[in-house]
Amino acid sequence: MSEDSGIKVVRMHRFDGDSKTKAFADVEIGDFIIKGLRVVDGEKGIFLSMPREQGKDGKWYDTVRPVSKEAKDKLASVVLSAYQE
């Protein structure tokens, strides 16, 4: 799987069909694994969605957040290139 600057995709589960969700991915960053990243086909093209869970109020909340735009872009780059392999 794809790896860049300490980020490694350890699992990529692709979906067929008409769903907007095209794949789920798990990544390893250092000694941690983040599960449930989603590759989504949106109106502006394919993008990476962070893992999220539904709160008691019915709204969806990200459970993982990158600390900067650069970190998010780096993570998206690694996961999306693994998806396209």
Strand 60-62 versus strand 21-29 pairing type: unpaired
What's this model's pTM, rounded to 2 decimal places? 0.84
Assign domain 3-84 to a CATH class.
Answer: alpha beta
Binned at pLDDT 50, 70 and 90, residue 2 comes out as: low
If pLDDT is split at 50, 70 and 90, which confidence band does 16 have? Answer: confident
Report residue 6 as tokens. 């300490």
Gyration radius from the chain CA atoms: 13
pLDDT at position 63: 93
Can you tell me the mean pLDDT for 9-24?
Answer: 92
What local confidence, expressed as pLDDT, does residue 85 receive? 86
